[in-house]
């Protein structure tokens, strides 16, 4: 007994000592900017937070996923005097990490995330013009840049994008004699025909109303019914009859048994897995689906089509864009130098030599013109997707209440799934954000 | 008398000092910050503004899902703590019997305790999936069922699953606490009772329960706190979907803070939770202390 | 005739035994399984009523049916039309032609067919016969003898009878499950071409069994739409056999109750262990699966077809050992600090009288009442001030602090339960208080200390929320945070996630198991005094 105890205590001591030793050597390894002594001299340290997009993200930035080296090492070798303190954070935790750092007045220098509008009213972000080199700025798709404008100032640059469309399993539809639907009515016909033909074996239509993706579901149907999040003037217009009809239609599909059984908890991964296994006939999802299915070892004969719209309405492709933004750092000793370093970071990141690898690695679509050529050369299907991307509508992420709306529409949908009233929910949401 | 003599009045405080410092710095300081935050304005971006009185609390109480969430939390704590105490007690009684393989059985019982909650939650989420869940897989391959079963058809059932997982991870702790109490019971007590003609139930009621009550109370109080604050199970399995119907307070305030970016009410909600727990623990402390004094 | 009462008892149970077996045999000859085989199915997809496709399909079906009638099958054609009016107002229909044959089988017909379930049934019958023979032999020889004075051979025969019955009883659900598996799952998998091995053999057996060899090459078609129904009567078999078992147990020894209780105990333990281990089974098999196999929609395999050890090597390449080491450092360090601070505090609480004792206990419990999620902002601010963010030491201290309450509570209880006489003696001998604690009390309270140690270790090992925010450098991440890289925006790599989880669980479980004995004894002394 005593021996065991002594052994354990000794073990613990060793760990503790080892840990202390480790931290002693740590500052030399990777000094955090705010901890670094002012005397660090010429060296500039940039805190960067990148979101975890796929299995390769971490490897590409920090491991050996970039032809044997990684982003950080290559950047630091090419740009002496700038150090990157780069962190890859999972999407589940990233808001928690960023918000905590902001609350403690210690935001990262460069952040890659989906939303930006909540940071603008507090004056946390720097205008893009301050740090982005002119030639790079002109390289971004203008339509993308326009999505990050608040009060005539550009606050973030697009990082990458994805376009969403209707994917369908060609074989399943063909066998049941079903045409690809283009309108809502045809969609219901197709679903019914598939349901009749396959019984419960195949789900005709995939719907994802989970807490993370409910806003996408809202967009697919509301935009396909001439509605949307905002009106022509850019003001919130959530409780329009079109939107109510759209949500009711989507929920109706679930209630008629055309869809996967648990839309509120079956995530995009589940749906894509079902599609890859031939269990799901049609699905609205991102252009990365083919890559996903191939990675998962699925062998599905799939094709894409436009997202069905209501009779007489023109639908719209749904685009999703993530952004890179830069936080102010009033404590930085030399602002001009910091801006220059950030500019170098962006130049390096968007350099086709690096950027093409980054975008194509996870099957995303690019945000800069200079990458298009190389991407289309590597995979012809990119060309078609870039066309789709050109006609996409994006979420109104530049509006300050976007976070509330995004959760709000999801809650309305989920509520409707269990029998709640759509109009009531949208009315309340509209009153909250517009009132 | 159980105490030893100390030379100086201040000596006991010296002994407490390291622990006191550790808690004060690393736990109490953040708690104070939370209190301060709950009375401050917090912007959606996360910047902390000035004092705004009870506005956050008022907002928190008036949030539409507040009632549902409080009720869920109540059921969550009640069912998880209650049922795991009951189950843990029964398992401990069984594990206290002498039988072949008892050592192995006890070691197996320890597993759920030794695995992180995040992992447990994702594994159970994976198990009860309809489409490629392992539960369906095993039952199908054994021939027990002919067709995959949708184990989570509606939100009450999902909530029951969440409670079930909560119970699964809590039972070992209770079982081992009770087991320790059972092992301290003198066997002669039972023999005497058997001589007096006492049956199983009467022995359970008159000997076993009173003897394990102290360890049961310890485990129950700690469990109430841990279960109330438990976050990964609900978050991993449903994220509160649909429409906060499966949220408990702690997951709801997380969603409120990081998804809806209403950080002020979220902080206020956490203080409310703290007060509720304080109330429960206070009542417990008073009763236990009184009992200890009378002993 | 030494004891008529005994004889009557023995007779009664013998009768019960025979009755049970007879009942089982009668049940087996009833038509328990009914089959509805749609020997041919034609679906005309989405045609308009009365158009060419419909007529062509009908013609085809008629000719096929005629073929079956020629072979002597008594078949029926059913036509099911599902009519819909689509959104354009056109009427479409989905017509299903089915040629059906229905029949029933009793259990004895399973005997000769050579299916897996038929072997199980044969075994059941043999066991039943054996039990009956043994029981008859054993009982008839010694009808008048009291239990205690049975000759050895008779006792042996009776044990044999009860064992055979028990086995037969256990095989009944096995039989039902095998049947179920063959007829509803295996066939459907073969028909979807998901399984190929052994298909011909199984289908030949089924052809012989179901259609007396008449279906030949058409067997695939016939089986694809076959429905099987088991009569609930089969579950009457169970009680019948159970009755026999009871009788056998009674024949063997006096108390059914104690035997049943014992059985129940083992049953309970086994069930609890199985449920507990189930997630770990899932974790293990998933960890070794290939990406494609995690996507196996038809649940083909209980175990991976190929155990991919390279899953383990890939996660090792992706930084998992480093994360494990960090976790070990954090948990070990936290345990150390928690003990160094907790033991003196618990000692003071247990052995000294001072003002504010209750307040301190209240303070300690209060420190537990906020979830770490809520405290993040404060903790992060503190760590920035202390220059401890992104460091293993910071995490260590935080974890130690968060576990003070449990450590102090447990240790205090342990110390209180140990009589202070030894320390008092040591103090009189000129030892100071520190000496009394380290030389006398700590060795005696070792089990309690080990318990507290392990609790703190596990809590710190499993901590997740604070680490996500506090640690920003990849190489400083503990394992709980490190594994989040396997569930990203694009894809959840279940096999890697679970392989890493398994690696994270194993060290703790080993530690725990090696210390389990001390754990219970430690809680004994700790828990009881509250």
Q: What is the pLDDT of residues B61-110, one digit of tens each?
A: 999 899 999 999 999 999 999 999 999 999 999 988 888 888 888 888 88
The verdict on C99 and C121 lying in the same domain is no
Residues shown for chain A = 435
What is the C-alpha to C-alpha distance for residues B8 and A355, in angstroms, rounded to an integer? Answer: 71
Task: Give the strand pairing for A317-326 and A392-394.
Answer: parallel
Which tens digits make up the pLDDT trace of A374-408?
888 887 888 888 888 888 899 999 988 898 999 99
* Residue C133 sits in the same domain as residue C42: no
**Eight-state DSSP code of residue B78:** H
Q: Residue A299 contacts by C-beta under 8 Å, 6 or more apart in sequence?
A: none
Q: How many residues does chain B have?
A: 295
- The verdict on C79 and C192 lying in the same domain is no
The tokens for C144 are 């008048």
Contact C330 A175 (CB under 8 A): no
Look at residues C76, C105, C134 and tell me which one is the last residue of a structural domain.
C105
Supply the range of the domain harboring residue C471: 310-527
d(CA C30, CA C60): 38
Interface test with C, best of A4, A5, A292 (most C CBs within 10 A): A5
pLDDT of residue B187: 76
Q: Give dist(CA C369, CA C388) in Å, integer.
A: 24
Residues in chain C: 530
Report the C-alpha gap between B139 and C269 in whole angstroms.
21
User: Are the CB atoms for B101 and B235 separated by under 8 Å?
Assistant: no
- B274 located within any domain: no
A130 close to C (CB below 8 A) = no
Bridge-based pairing of strands A153-154 and A149-150 is antiparallel
Per CB-CB distance under 8 Å, the chain C contacts of B119 are 283, 480, 483, 501, 504-505
Shared domain for C77 and C133, answered yes or no, is: no
Q: How many CA atoms lie within 13 A of C74 on its CB side?
A: 3
H or E, element range at C227: strand C227-230
Domain count, chain B: 1
Q: Cβ of C381 and A52 within 8 Å? A: no
Q: Which two tokens stand for residue A328?
A: 């102010």
3-state SS, chain A, equals CHHHHHHHHHHHHHHHHHHHHHHHHHHHHCCCHHHCCHHHCCCEEEEEEEECCCCCHHHHHHCCCECCECHHHHHHHHCCCEEEEEEEECHHHHHHHHHHHHHCCCCCCEEEECCCHHHCCCCCECCHHHCCCHHHHHHECHHHHHCCEECCEECCEEEEEEEEEEEEEHHHHHHCCCCCCCEHHHHHHHHHHHHHHHCCCCEEEECCCCCCCHHHHHHHHHHCCCCCCECCCCCECCCCHHHHHHHHHHHHHHHCCCECCCCCCCCHHHHHHHHHCCCEEEEEEECCHHHHHHHCCCCCCEEEECCCECCCCCCCEEEEEEEEEEECCCCCCCHHHHHHHHHHHHHHHHCHHHHHHHHHHCCCECCEHHHHHHHHHHCCHHHHHHHHHHCEEECCCCCCCHHHHHHHHHHHHHHHHCCCCHHHHHHHHHHHHHC
In this structure, what DSSP letter does residue C307 have?
-
Q: What is the DSSP letter of B201?
A: H
- B chain contacts of residue C365, beta-carbon cutoff 8 Å: 221, 225, 281, 285
- Who's near C8: CB < 8 A, 6+ residues apart? none
Domain shared by C232 and C168, yes or no: yes
* Residues C127 and C247 both lie in one domain: yes
Q: Would you say residue C57 lies in a domain?
A: yes
* Residue A73: exposure state from Cβ atoms within 10 A (0-12, 13-18, ≥19): middle
First to last CA, chain B: 12
Q: Which two tokens stand for residue C330?
A: 């954090």
Cβ proximity of A365 and A161 under 8 Å: yes
Closest CA relative to residue A391, chosen from A240, A183, A223, A234: A223
Domain shared by C43 and C26, yes or no: no
pLDDT in tens, C31-59: 888 888 887 777 766 666 566 777 777 78
Mean pLDDT of all residues in C514-525: 60
Q: Are strands A317-326 and A153-154 parallel, antiparallel or unpaired?
A: unpaired
Taking CA atoms, what residue in B is nearest to A203? B131
Contact A88 C390 (CB under 8 A): no
Check if B42 contacts A (Cβ < 8 Å).
yes
**Of A262-276, A330-344, B154-168, C161-175, highest mean pLDDT:** B154-168
Closest CB to C302 among B25, B138, B273: B138
CA of C185: which chain B residue's CA is closest? B146
Query: Of the candidates C232, C253, C274, which is a domain's last residue?
Result: C253
Q: State the Cα–Cα distance between residues A120 and A133, nearest whole angstrom.
A: 21
Distances (CA, A) of C425 to A19, A189, C433, C441: 40, 91, 11, 12
Contact predicate C77/C98, CB 8 Å: yes
Task: Please tell me the distance in Å from C334's CA to the nearest CA on chain A.
Answer: 8
| Residues C13 and C65 reside in one and the same domain | no
User: Any idea of the CA torsion for A217, A221, A227, A233, to the nearest 10 degrees?
Assistant: 40
Beta bridge partner(s), residue A280 = A203
Of C291, C328, C377, which has the smallest distance from its Cβ to A295's Cβ? Answer: C291
Kindly state whether residue B200 falls inside one of the protein's structural domains: yes
Would the CB atoms of C295 and B140 count as touching at under 8 Å? no
pLDDT over threshold 70, residue C148 = no
- From CA B128, how far away is CA C488, in angstroms rounded? 21
The domain segmentation of chain A, as residue ranges, is 43-161+321-394, 162-319+397-434
In angstroms, the CA C13 to CA C16 distance is 5
Containing domain of residue B136, as a range?
66-246
| Closest-CA residue to A89 (of C472, C430, B212) | C472
CB C391 within 8 A of CB C466: no
Are the C-beta atoms of A81 and A44 separated by less than 8 Å?
Answer: yes
CB contact under 8 A, C318 and A63: yes
Phi, psi of A166 (to 5 degrees): -85, 120
pLDDT tens string C347-363 = 998 888 888 888 888 88
State the best of C370, C407, C442, C453 to mutate against chain B, taking most chain B CBs within 10 Å.
C370
If DSSP codes are grouped into helix, strand and coil, which group holds residue B215? Answer: helix
Angle at A72 between CA A67 and CA A77, to 5 degrees: 85
pLDDT (0 to 100) of residue C529: 38
What CATH number belongs to A43-161+321-394? 3.40.190.10
Where would I find the H helices in B112-154? 117-127, 134-142
Full DSSP string of C40-107: EEEEEEEEPTTSHHHHHHHHHHHHHHHHHHHTT---EEEEEEEEEE-TTS-EEEEEEEEEEEEEEE-G
Which A-chain residues 279-338 have CB contacts (< 8 A) with chain C?
279, 288, 292, 295-298
Q: Which residues contact C366 (CB under 8 A, 6 or more apart)?
A: B278, B281
Q: Which residues pair with A50 in a beta bridge?
A: A88
pLDDT tens digits, B200-247: 888 888 888 887 777 787 788 888 988 998 888 999 899 888 889 999
Nearest CA in chain C to A91: C489
Q: What pLDDT score was predicted for residue A47?
A: 93
Sign, CA torsion A24/A29/A30/A31: positive
Identify the three-state secondary structure at position C232: coil
Please compute the mean of the pLDDT values over residues C416-430 and round it to a whole number: 80
pLDDT of residue A32: 41
Asked if C165 contacts C245 with a C-beta cutoff of 8 angstroms, the reply is: yes
E strands of chain B, at which residues? 40-42, 48-51
In a domain, C383, yes or no: yes
Instruction: Tell me the C-alpha distance between B85 and B217, whole Å.
Output: 10
Q: Tell me how far apart the alpha carbons of residues C327 and C387 are, in angstroms, rounded to a whole number.
A: 20
Q: Which residues contact B88 (CB under 8 A, 6 or more apart)?
A: B170, B171, B172, B173, B174, B175, B177, B178, B219
pTM of the full structure: 0.87
Would C128 be classed as within a structural domain?
yes
Query: What integer best gives the mean pLDDT of chain C?
Result: 81
> What's the confidence (pLDDT) of residue A236?
94
- The residues near C167 (Cβ < 8 Å, ≥ 6 apart) are C127
pLDDT of residue C172: 86
Residue B113 within a domain: yes
d(Cα C139, Cα C251) in Å, to the nearest integer? 8
Residue C489 located in a structural domain: yes
> How is residue B24 written in tokens?
């004060």
Q: How far, in Å, CA of B254 to CA of A349, rounded? A: 33
Task: Return the closest-CA partner of residue C238 out of C519, C20, C484, C476.
Answer: C20
Q: Measuring CA to CA, which residue among A106, A135, A130, A102 is closest to residue A116? A: A102
pLDDT tens, per residue, chain A with 435 residues: 445 545 555 554 454 444 444 444 333 333 444 444 444 457 899 999 999 888 888 889 988 888 888 999 999 999 999 999 999 998 888 998 999 999 888 899 999 999 899 899 989 999 999 999 999 999 999 989 999 999 999 999 999 999 999 999 999 999 888 899 999 999 999 999 899 888 888 999 999 999 989 999 999 999 999 999 999 888 999 999 999 999 999 999 999 999 999 999 998 888 998 999 889 999 999 998 988 888 888 888 999 999 999 988 888 888 999 999 999 998 888 899 999 999 999 999 999 999 998 888 888 899 999 998 888 888 788 888 888 888 889 999 998 889 899 999 999 999 999 999 999 999 999 999 987
Question: Is position B212 within any domain?
Answer: yes
- Residue with more model confidence, C341 or C370: C341
Same domain, C357 and C473: yes
- Do C128 and C248 belong to one domain? yes
Say how many C-beta atoms besides its own lie within 10 A of residue C313's C-beta: 11
Out of A262, A277, A414, closest to residue B243 by CB: A414
- CB nearest B132 (choices: A119, A122, A273): A273
| C73 lies in the same domain as C182 | no
Could you tell me how many CB contacts below 8 A there are between chain A and chain C? 183
Tally of domains within chain C: 3
Q: Residues 423 to 452 of C: which have CB under 8 A from any A CB?
A: 443, 446-447, 449-450
Cβ-based neighbours of A31, under 8 Å, separated by 6 or more: A40, A45, A83, A85
**For C65-103, how does the pLDDT look when each residue is reduced to its tens digit (9 = 90+)?**
888 788 777 777 887 777 777 777 777 777 777 888 888
Check which CATH number belongs to the domain holding B235 and give it.
1.10.3720.10
CA A138 to chain centre: 23
Cα–Cα distance for residue pair A234/A244, rounded to 1 Å: 19
C303 at B interface, C-beta within 8 A: no
pLDDT band at residue C244 using 50, 70 and 90 as cut-offs: confident
Peptide bond into B194 cis (omega under 30): no
Model pLDDT for residues C323-332, shown as the tens digit of each residue: 999 999 999 9
Is C46 part of the contact surface with chain A (CB cutoff 8 Å)?
A: yes
Q: Are residues C75 and C168 in the same domain?
A: no
Whether residue C45 and residue A177 make contact (CB cut-off 8 A), yes or no, is yes
- Encoding tokens for residue A75? 């950047």
Which one of A57, A90, A288, A362 makes the best mutation probe of the C interface by having the most chain C beta carbons within 10 Å? A90
Position B255 in a domain: no
Pick the CATH number of A162-319+397-434 from 3.40.1080.10, 1.10.40.30, 3.40.190.10, 3.30.420.40: 3.40.190.10
The answer to whether residue C519 scores a pLDDT higher than 70 is no
Write out chain A residues lying below 8 Å of B50, CB-based: none
């Amino acid at each position: 007994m005593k021996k065991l105890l002594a052994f354990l205590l000794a073990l613990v001591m060793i760990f503790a000592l080892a840990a202390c030793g480790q931290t002693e050597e740590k500052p030399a390894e990777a000094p955090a900017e705010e901890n670094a002594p002012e005397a660090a001299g010429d060296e500039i340290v940039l805190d960067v937070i990148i979101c975890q997009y796929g299995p390769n993200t971490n490897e590409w930035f920090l491991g050996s996923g970039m032809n044997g080296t990684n982003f950080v090492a290559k950047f630091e070798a090419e740009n002496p005097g700038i150090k990157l303190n780069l962190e890859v954070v999972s999407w589940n935790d990233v808001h928690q990490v960023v918000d905590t750092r902001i609350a403690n007045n210690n935001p990262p220098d460069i952040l890659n995330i989906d939303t930006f509008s909540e940071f603008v009213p507090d004056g946390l972000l720097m205008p893009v013009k301050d740090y982005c080199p002119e030639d790079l700025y002109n390289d971004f798709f203008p339509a993308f840049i326009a999505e990050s404008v608040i009060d005539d100032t550009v606050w973030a640059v697009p990082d990458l994008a994805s376009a969403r469309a209707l994917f369908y399993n060609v074989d399943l539809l063909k066998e049941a004699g079903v045409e690809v639907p283009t309108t809502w009515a045809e969609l219901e016909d197709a679903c019914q025909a598939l349901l009749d033909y396959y019984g419960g074996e195949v789900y005709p239509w995939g719907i994802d109303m989970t807490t993370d993706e409910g806003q996408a579901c809202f967009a697919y149907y509301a935009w396909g019914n001439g509605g949307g999040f905002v009106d022509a003037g850019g003001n919130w217009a959530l409780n329009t009859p079109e939107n109510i009809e759209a949500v009711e239609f989507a929920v109706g599909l679930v209630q008629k048994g055309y869809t996967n059984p648990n839309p509120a908890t079956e995530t995009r991964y589940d749906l894509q897995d079902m599609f890859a296994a031939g269990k799901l006939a049609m699905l609205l999802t991102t252009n990365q689906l083919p890559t996903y299915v191939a990675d998962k070892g699925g062998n599905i004969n799939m094709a894409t089509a436009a997202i069905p719209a209501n009779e007489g309405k023109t639908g719209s492709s749904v685009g999703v864009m993530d952004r890179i933004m830069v936080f102010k750092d009033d404590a930085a000793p030399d602002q001009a130098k910091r801006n220059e370093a950030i500019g170098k970071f962006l130049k390096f990141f968007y350099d086709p030599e690096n950027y093409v690898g980054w975008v194509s690695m996870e099957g995303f679509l690019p945000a800069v013109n200079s990458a298009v050529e190389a991407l289309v050369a590597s995979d012809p299907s990119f060309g078609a997707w870039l066309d789709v991307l050109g006609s996409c509508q994006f979420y109104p992420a530049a509006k300050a209440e976007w976070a509330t709306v995004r959760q709000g529409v999801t809650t309305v949908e989920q509520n409707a799934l269990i029998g709640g009233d759509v109009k009531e929910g949208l009315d309340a949401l509209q009153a909250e954000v517009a009132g | 008398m159980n105490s030893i003599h100390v030379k100086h009045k201040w000596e006991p405080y010296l002994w407490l000092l390291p622990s006191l410092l550790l808690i004060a710095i690393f736990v109490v300081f953040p708690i104070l910050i939370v209190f301060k935050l709950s009375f401050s304005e917090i912007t959606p971006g996360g910047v902390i503004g000035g004092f705004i009185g009870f506005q956050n609390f008022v907002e928190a109480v008036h949030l539409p899902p507040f009632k549902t969430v409080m009720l869920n939390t109540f059921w969550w704590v009640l069912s998880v703590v209650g049922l795991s105490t009951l189950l843990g007690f029964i398992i401990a009684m069984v594990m206290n019997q002498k039988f072949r393989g008892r050592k192995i059985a006890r070691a197996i019982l320890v597993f759920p305790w030794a695995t992180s909650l995040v992992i447990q939650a994702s594994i159970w989420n994976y198990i009860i999936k309809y489409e490629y869940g392992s539960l369906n897989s095993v039952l199908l391959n054994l021939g027990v069922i002919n067709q995959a079963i949708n184990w989570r058809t509606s939100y009450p059932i999902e909530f029951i699953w969440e409670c079930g997982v909560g119970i699964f991870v809590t039972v070992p702790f209770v079982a081992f606490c009770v087991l320790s109490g059972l092992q301290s019971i003198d066997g002669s007590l039972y023999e005497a009772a058997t001589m007096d003609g006492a049956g199983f139930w009467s022995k359970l009621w008159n000997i076993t329960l009173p003897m394990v009550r102290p360890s049961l109370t310890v485990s129950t109080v700690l469990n109430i706190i841990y279960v109330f604050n438990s976050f990964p199970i609900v978050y991993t399995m449903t994220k509160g979907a649909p429409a906060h119907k499966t949220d408990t307070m702690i997951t709801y305030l997380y969603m409120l803070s990081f998804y809806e970016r209403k950080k002020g009410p979220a902080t206020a909600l956490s203080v409310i939770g703290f007060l509720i727990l304080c109330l429960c623990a206070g009542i417990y402390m008073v009763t236990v202390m009184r009992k200890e004094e009378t002993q | 005739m030494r004891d008529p009462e005994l004889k009557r008892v023995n007779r009664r149970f013998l009768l019960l035994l025979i009755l049970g077996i007879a009942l089982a045999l009668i049940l087996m000859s009833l038509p328990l399984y009914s089959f509805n085989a749609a020997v041919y199915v034609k679906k005309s997809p989405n045609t308009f009523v009365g158009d060419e496709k419909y007529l062509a399909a009908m013609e085809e079906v008629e000719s096929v049916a005629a073929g079956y009638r020629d072979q002597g099958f008594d078949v029926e054609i059913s036509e099911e039309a599902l009519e819909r009016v689509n959104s354009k107002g056109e009427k479409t229909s989905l017509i299903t032609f089915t040629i059906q044959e229905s029949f029933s089988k009793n259990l004895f017909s399973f005997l000769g067919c050579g299916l897996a379930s038929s072997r199980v049934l044969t075994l059941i019958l043999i066991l039943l016969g054996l039990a009956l023979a043994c029981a008859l032999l054993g009982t008839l020889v010694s009808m008048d003898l009291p239990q205690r004075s049975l000759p050895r051979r008779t006792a042996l025969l009776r044990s044999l009878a009860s064992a055979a019955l028990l086995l037969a009883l256990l095989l009944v659900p096995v039989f039902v499950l095998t049947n179920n598996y063959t007829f509803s799952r295996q066939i459907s998998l073969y028909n979807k071409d998901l399984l190929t091995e052994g298909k011909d053999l199984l289908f030949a057996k089924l052809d012989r069994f179901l259609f007396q060899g008449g279906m030949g090459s058409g067997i695939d078609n016939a089986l694809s739409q076959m429905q099987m129904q088991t009569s609930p009567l089969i579950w009457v078999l169970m009680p019948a056999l159970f009755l026999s078992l009871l009788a056998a147990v009674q024949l063997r020894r006096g108390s059914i109750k104690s035997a049943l209780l014992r059985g129940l105990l083992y049953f309970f333990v086994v069930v609890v262990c199985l449920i507990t281990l189930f997630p770990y089974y899932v974790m293990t098999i998933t960890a070794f699966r290939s990406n494609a196999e995690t996507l196996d929609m038809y649940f083909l395999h209980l175990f991976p077809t190929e155990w991919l050890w390279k899953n383990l090597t890939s996660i090792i390449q992706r930084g998992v050992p480093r994360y494990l080491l960090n976790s070990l450092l954090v948990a070990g360090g936290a345990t150390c600090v928690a003990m160094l601070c907790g033991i003196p505090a618990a000692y003071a609480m247990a052995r000294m009288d001072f003002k504010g004792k209750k307040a301190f206990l209240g303070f300690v419990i209060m420190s537990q009442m906020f979830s770490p999620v809520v405290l993040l902002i404060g903790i992060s601010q503190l760590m920035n001030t202390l220059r401890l963010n992104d460091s293993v030491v910071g995490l260590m201290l935080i974890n130690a602090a968060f576990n003070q309450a449990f450590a102090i509570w447990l240790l205090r209880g342990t110390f209180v339960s140990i009589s202070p006489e030894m320390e008092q003696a040591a103090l009189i001998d000129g030892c100071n208080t520190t000496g009394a604690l380290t030389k006398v009390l700590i060795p005696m309270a070792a089990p309690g200390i080990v318990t507290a140690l392990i609790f703190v270790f596990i809590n710190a090992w499993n901590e997740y929320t604070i680490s996500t925010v506090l640690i920003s450098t990849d190489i400083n991440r503990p394992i709980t945070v490190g594994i989040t890289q396997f569930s990203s925006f694009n894809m959840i790599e279940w096999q890697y996630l679970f392989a890493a989880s398994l690696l994270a669980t194993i060290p703790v479980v080993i530690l725990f198991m090696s210390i389990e004995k001390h754990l219970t004894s430690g809680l004994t002394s700790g828990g009881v005094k509250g």
